[in-house]
A and B are shown apart, each in its own frame.
Chain A
């Protein structure tokens, strides 16, 4: 029964959601909306599990004096501090300079001044990684790699004209080639991948909803 009940629940929920996609019947739509709201509640509660996991693993490593333990302590202090600060602000325990309370002034400031720049820093690394990956990928070691190099060069020249005399003329020559590559070759390749993936999604969805695929369950 430990396996049968979850499979039956998965099938029932999957069939309701699938049927609601194909039907406008209000009772099916209502059942679908109810299931989705349950899922939202479930996701919110499960968030606490993640925090629990973070504390369990990092506290253990701090206690064992892992070589990186100071960073782990900073992580837990920051996590707890941000949470407590947010709760204090929302509950009105912090009065701001203008006498107002109940906003998230400090929390928003930390988010904008610390978190967002850090996130942007990580994202900006992408520019360097694209350059290093392209350098390796564009080495003409084989026929396919040479084709990739040629196609990449055409697309880049059409996007960014060379800063040399005649650069814009070269750009105007390669632009139609770039259009052909992007609109026909690239799009056709992408559509083929999308079609194959969509069928894979459909097959996997059906296998799970119909209880054929069970490897996600414990035995």
Chain B
């Protein structure tokens, strides 16, 4: 293995280090990274960075509290994707907060998983959440359940847990596919309070229709910052907002240019094509009138 890497290093001298086509993406990431550090430092120095109220996130505590009052467990479904999916990784971070709350309240937390690697992460997150709450004894290993690595077998398993064990709160946060509505409707039928969240836009309508609260898109990635208010995390939210404003400005400029100068000539491609070539490294098309 190392020989192949060394041989590859030797061959590197003849290859350009940066892929020119990806320079705009790299520049965008560097700008975003710079903004992130800027706002993190500001937040660490005590500058208040407000985050708007997100009803779905406030509802997490409400849902856990309701389960505690009813003496029934909380069900946490971390989606069905593997750990290499960033939404699943993020779901594990949220799970830690949920586990801390359930441990504080002494409410059982059931976490069915579809992937064995996710299972080990979930075990660790729940264990850590219980320790954060000062209740390591609240960790119940048997409640982190590997069901199946097949989508609908897993879905059937989770629906079975909802029906048999009747959790009073179903929290579904992560990457979901076609099973989203089956899970949400099964949970609705049991009368549980349901909080769902995903950045997968195709599944959002199902969650909106079937759940009490839905955390959608970018809100999903603001959960840890919202719950902990840690300056390093809150700063990234402000950086996301500023980058989004920059993107909106670029879109508006592109729309205006595209409307005013829809086409150019081969010799003079026009402002829109130059704009696209500059910002997105797209080759100027030879579409003359």
The answer, among A25, A60, A134, for a CB contact under 8 Å with B142, is A60
Task: Please tell me if B162 contacts chain A, counting CB pairs below 8 Å.
Answer: no
Given A26-B12, A123-B178, A133-B206, the answer on whether A218 and B124 have CB atoms closer than 8 Å is yes
Given A202-B32, A203-B240, A215-B96, the answer on whether A126 and B201 have CB atoms closer than 8 Å is no
In the bound assembly, the distance between CA atoms of A46 and B83 in angstroms comes to 12
B116–A50 contact, CB under 8 A? Answer: yes
A122–B182 contact, CB under 8 A? Answer: yes
Chain A, interface residues (CB within 8 Å), range:
35 or more
Q: Which of A99-107, A158-166, A191-199 lies at the interface with chain B?
A: A191-199
Chain B binding site: helix, strand, loop or mixed by DSSP?
helix
The answer, among B36, B96, B146, for a CB contact under 8 Å with A53, is B146
A195–B119 contact, CB under 8 A? Answer: no
B220–A29 contact, CB under 8 A? Answer: no
Task: Please tell me if B190 contacts chain A, counting CB pairs below 8 Å.
Answer: no
Query: What mask results when residues 219 to 233 of chain B are scored 1 for a CB within 8 Å of chain A, else 0?
Result: 011101000000011
Of A34, A47, A122, A218, the most chain B CB neighbours within 10 A belong to A122
Given A34-B5, A129-B181, the answer on whether A218 and B116 have CB atoms closer than 8 Å is no
Q: How many A-B residue pairs have CB under 8 A?
A: 188
Question: Which residues 136-190 in B have Cβ within 8 Å of A in the complex?
Answer: 142, 144-147, 149-153, 155-156, 164, 178, 181-182, 184-185
B145–A53 contact, CB under 8 A? Answer: yes
Chain B, interface residues (CB within 8 Å), range:
35 or more
Task: Please tell me if A77 contacts chain B, counting CB pairs below 8 Å.
Answer: no
Nearest A residue to B87 by beta-carbon distance? Answer: A201
> Across the interface, which residues of B come within 8 angstroms of A26, CB to CB?
8-9, 11-12, 15
In the bound assembly, the distance between CA atoms of A56 and B96 in angstroms comes to 23
CB distance from A162 to the nearest CB of B (A): 24
> Across the interface, which residues of B come within 8 angstroms of A134, CB to CB?
209
B232–A43 contact, CB under 8 A? Answer: no
A193–B201 contact, CB under 8 A? Answer: yes
Question: Which residues 200-214 in B have Cβ within 8 Å of A in the complex?
Answer: 201, 204, 206, 208-210
> Across the interface, which residues of A come within 8 angstroms of B9, CB to CB?
26-27
Given A23-B17, A43-B117, A193-B216, the answer on whether A199 and B32 have CB atoms closer than 8 Å is yes
CB distance from A34 to the nearest CB of B (A): 6
The answer, among A125, A194, A212, for a CB contact under 8 Å with B182, is A125
Task: Please tell me if B127 contacts chain A, counting CB pairs below 8 Å.
Answer: yes
In the bound assembly, the distance between CA atoms of A24 and B120 in angstroms comes to 34
Q: Which of B22-30, B65-73, B267-275 lies at the interface with chain A?
A: B22-30
Nearest B residue to A192 by beta-carbon distance? Answer: B217
Nearest A residue to B22 by beta-carbon distance? Answer: A22
Task: Please tell me if A206 contacts chain B, counting CB pairs below 8 Å.
Answer: yes
Task: Please tell me if A169 contacts chain B, counting CB pairs below 8 Å.
Answer: no
Task: Please tell me if B263 contacts chain A, counting CB pairs below 8 Å.
Answer: no
16 pairs from A and B in contact (CB 8 Å cutoff): A24-B15, A27-B8, A30-B8, A47-B149, A50-B119, A56-B142, A122-B152, A122-B155, A126-B182, A130-B181, A136-B210, A137-B209, A194-B201, A203-B221, A213-B224, A219-B131
Other CB < 8 Å A-B pairs besides A22-B25, A118-B152, 14 of them? A26-B15, A29-B8, A48-B116, A49-B146, A60-B142, A133-B210, A197-B199, A197-B217, A199-B243, A203-B240, A204-B86, A205-B86, A213-B224, A216-B124
